[in-house]
């Protein structure tokens, strides 16, 4: 392990290439498929890393249709970028992290659309003190993650690309189509950065908020779109939530008893309210102010675990859970209170089982 990787091990949240360094090494070792130029492993091995492989003990990290993931991987082999679009909390960022970790060995070359406001942040800036003594030269150049990805032949993640100003989206166009950045201050060959094999862009964008509407039409044409949908199957969603909560709890150094049947209440409520449909097919109101995503279910379960650990008796109760569910579901839309109440009256009231009945008994918390 390099010293850089050791430093990352102490970080609050390590990138996927550090967390799963053993899996990546194993996959590179057994990989017998053809490897695209500049990639660290074959598309098949990348897919195994993301979707899991029981035979080799590779964890399933992303729950989705395998064919869709294969399509995304193939689109990254082409010279078009790939844009993952979807509702909040559907693991777009997580998928882009996994893909760049597997393809390029690093997921940290990343830009945040909302934080990129001028071209120096998109492409390059200068180290003023070197510039002052040596003049414009490669040593004085401070490449952005995008330019580094081009120079090193790696995947670059562009988070929330639609939030980046239009003019900068247009600057990205020439990078994607011509694969070159010209630095007029540098003379000769140094002034022309050609993208090395292995470079490509994986972008993400929310389909709500301001979403893809703000994206330049020309940029949209340069990228393959893939819609990432919420997890459809309740038991698969339960699996993701339990795994992620246990991970978050152990990262936080707490050992809480997490009863699966209590977590099931949370995952079921979020699943039904998000889909606007109960498990038995009756329609119900969707909430307007909250996405109730899988990611939010994870953070509600984790917050409830912290509550149980610091204030409770060390095991998660339905009552603590209800407080956190309501806090997460009711944000700034007053009408959501009525919708949530309606969901309780029509759906929760009918449910059998001690946990559901306890949740129903606590309905006054919504008022």
89 binding partner (options Mg ion, ligand ATP, none; Cβ < 5 to 8 Å by kind): ligand ATP
199 binding partner (options Mg ion, ligand ATP, none; Cβ < 5 to 8 Å by kind): none
Helix runs in the chain, H state only: 3-9, 16-19, 21-30, 43-51, 66-77, 92-104, 119-122, 128-134, 145-152, 166-178, 217-221, 234-251, 260-275, 294-310, 318-329, 335-346, 354-361
Residue 231 is given by DSSP the state P
**Cβ 229 to ligand ATP, closest distance in Å?**
8
240 binding partner (options ligand ATP, Mg ion, none; Cβ < 5 to 8 Å by kind): ligand ATP
Per-position b or e across 86-118, b if 16+ CB within 10 A of its CB: bbbbbbbbbbbbbbbbbbbbbbbbbbebeebee
**Cβ 236 to ligand ATP, closest distance in Å?**
8
Residue closer to ligand ATP (CB basis): 92 or 181: 92
15 binding partner (options ligand ATP, Mg ion, none; Cβ < 5 to 8 Å by kind): none
What are the φ and ψ backbone dihedral angles of 60, each rounded to 5 degrees? -80, 115
Residue closer to ligand ATP (CB basis): 86 or 198: 86
**Cβ 120 to Mg ion, closest distance in Å?**
24
Tokens representing 84 are: 């993952």
Tokens representing 209 are: 């908020």
Residue closer to ligand ATP (CB basis): 110 or 265: 110
Residue with tokens 């949370």: 266
Q: Which long-range contacts (CB under 8 A, 24 or more apart) does 188-196 make?
A: 190/137, 190/138, 193/147, 193/150, 193/151, 194/150, 195/149, 195/150, 195/153, 196/38, 196/150, 196/151, 196/152, 196/153
Residue closer to ligand ATP (CB basis): 207 or 315: 207
**Cβ 162 to ligand ATP, closest distance in Å?**
11
Which residues would be at the binding site for ligand ATP (CB under 6 A)?
A: 62-64, 86, 88-94, 204, 206, 231, 240, 244, 294-295, 298
**Cβ 298 to ligand ATP, closest distance in Å?**
5
**Cβ 160 to Mg ion, closest distance in Å?**
7
**Cβ 240 to ligand ATP, closest distance in Å?**
4
Report d(CA 158, CA 335) in Å as an integer.
35
Per-residue x/- track, 70-89, Mg ion (CB under 5 A): --------------------
Tokens representing 353 are: 């089982």
248 binding partner (options ligand ATP, Mg ion, none; Cβ < 5 to 8 Å by kind): none
Give DSSP secondary structure letters for 21-66: HHHHHHHHHH--S---TT-SS-HHHHHHHHH-BGGGTB-----S-H
In angstroms, the Cα distances linking 299 to 58, 191, 245 are 25, 47, 8
Residue with tokens 């039409």: 217
Candidate ranges 60-68, 92-100, 273-281, 291-299; the one touching Mg ion (CB under 5 A): 92-100
Q: Is 93 in the site for Mg ion (CB under 5 A)?
A: yes
Residue closer to Mg ion (CB basis): 40 or 96: 96
Report d(CA 43, CA 97) in Å as an integer.
15
Tokens representing 162 are: 């639609």
Q: Is 96 in the site for Mg ion (CB under 5 A)?
A: no
Residue closer to ligand ATP (CB basis): 38 or 230: 230
165 binding partner (options ligand ATP, Mg ion, none; Cβ < 5 to 8 Å by kind): none
**Cβ 208 to ligand ATP, closest distance in Å?**
9
Residue closer to ligand ATP (CB basis): 185 or 236: 236
145 binding partner (options Mg ion, ligand ATP, none; Cβ < 5 to 8 Å by kind): none
Residue closer to Mg ion (CB basis): 156 or 256: 156
The residue ranges that bind Mg ion (CB under 5 A) are: 93
């Amino acid at each position: 392990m390099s010293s850089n990787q050791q430093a990352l091990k102490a970080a609050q949240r390590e990138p996927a290439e550090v967390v799963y360094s053993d899996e990546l090494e194993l996959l590179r070792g057994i990989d017998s498929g053809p490897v695209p130029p500049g990639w660290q492993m074959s598309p098949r091995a990348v897919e195994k890393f993301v979707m899991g492989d029981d035979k080799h003990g590779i964890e399933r990290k992303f729950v989705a249709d395998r064919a869709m993931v294969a399509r995304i991987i193939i689109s990254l082999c082409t010279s078009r970028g790939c844009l993952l679009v979807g509702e909040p909390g559907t693991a777009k960022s997580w998928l882009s992290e996994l893909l760049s970790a597997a393809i390029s060995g690093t997921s940290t070359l990343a830009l945040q659309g909302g934080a990129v406001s001028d071209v120096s942040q998109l492409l390059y800036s200068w180290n003023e003190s070197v510039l002052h003594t040596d003049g414009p030269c490669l040593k004085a150049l401070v490449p952005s993650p995008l330019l580094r990805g081009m120079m090193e032949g790696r995947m670059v993640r562009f988070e929330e690309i639609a939030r980046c100003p239009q003019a900068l989206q247009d600057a990205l166009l020439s990078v994607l189509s011509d694969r070159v950045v010209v630095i007029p201050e540098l003379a000769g060959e140094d002034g022309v950065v050609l993208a090395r094999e292995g470079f490509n862009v994986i972008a993400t964008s929310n389909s709500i908020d301001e979403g893809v509407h703000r994206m330049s039409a020309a940029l949209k044409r340069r990228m393959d779109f893939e819609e990432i949908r919420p997890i459809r199957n309740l038991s698969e969603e339960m699996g993701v939530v339990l795994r992620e909560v246990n991970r978050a709890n152990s990262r936080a150094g707490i050992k809480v008893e997490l009863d699966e049947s209590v977590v099931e209440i949370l995952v079921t409520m979020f699943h039904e309210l998000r889909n606007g449909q109960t498990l038995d097919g009756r329609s119900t109101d969707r909430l307007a102010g909250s996405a109730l995503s899988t990611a939010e279910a994870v953070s509600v379960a984790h917050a409830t675990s912290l509550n149980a650990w610091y204030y409770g008796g060390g095991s998660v109760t339905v009552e603590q859970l209800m407080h956190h569910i309501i806090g997460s579901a009711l944000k700034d839309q007053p009408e959501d209170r009525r919708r949530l109440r309606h969901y309780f009256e029509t759906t929760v009231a009918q449910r059998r089982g001690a946990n559901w009945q306890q949740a129903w008994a606590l309905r006054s918390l919504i008022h």
